[in-house]
Amino acid sequence: MFVSSSTIDLVLASEELAGSTISSKTPASNHGSEHEAIDTVFDTSVPERKMPERLLLKDAPWNEIKKQVAAALETDPIGGTIHTRRIGSWRSALIYRRTRRHWSSGMLGS
């Protein structure tokens, strides 16, 4: 006597994928095959990622930044390491404030 058995060949890769199943059904026609297809629909919406700001350093107004750093240095007494740190923080703040961002509204002409 011949006994036939069948195994469903369906594997969901993760709990997230299993949880995003919208529908799963077999089609009405199987075209005479002993195997049946399973139509499964998943929610594949991907959340929008926020990209970090990127400075366009090649377009920075370097002459204005230099002038503002020089003006800040005139008001601060020279004092070695602390002075060097202040220059670095001024420079970073000025560059950040004065430089356009990648795909900013300024790039679009508005």
Is 9 in a helix, a strand, or coil?
coil
Range of the structural domain that residue 77 is part of: 57-108
Mean pLDDT, the chain, whole residue set: 70
User: What is the dihedral angle through the alpha carbons of 79, 81, 87, 89, rounded to the nearest 10 degrees?
Assistant: -130
User: What is the dihedral angle through the alpha carbons of 82, 86, 89, 92, rounded to the nearest 10 degrees?
Assistant: -130
pLDDT of residue 62: 86
Token pair for residue 52? 């970090």
Structural domain total, the chain: 1
Whether residue 48 is contained in a domain is answered as no
pTM for this entry: 0.32
Whether residue 37 is contained in a domain is answered as no
Confidence of residue 104 (pLDDT cuts 50, 70, 90): low
- Return the half-sphere exposure (C-beta side, CA atoms, 13 A cut-off) of residue 10: 14
Residue-wise pLDDT tens digits, 14-37 = 777 778 878 777 777 766 666 777
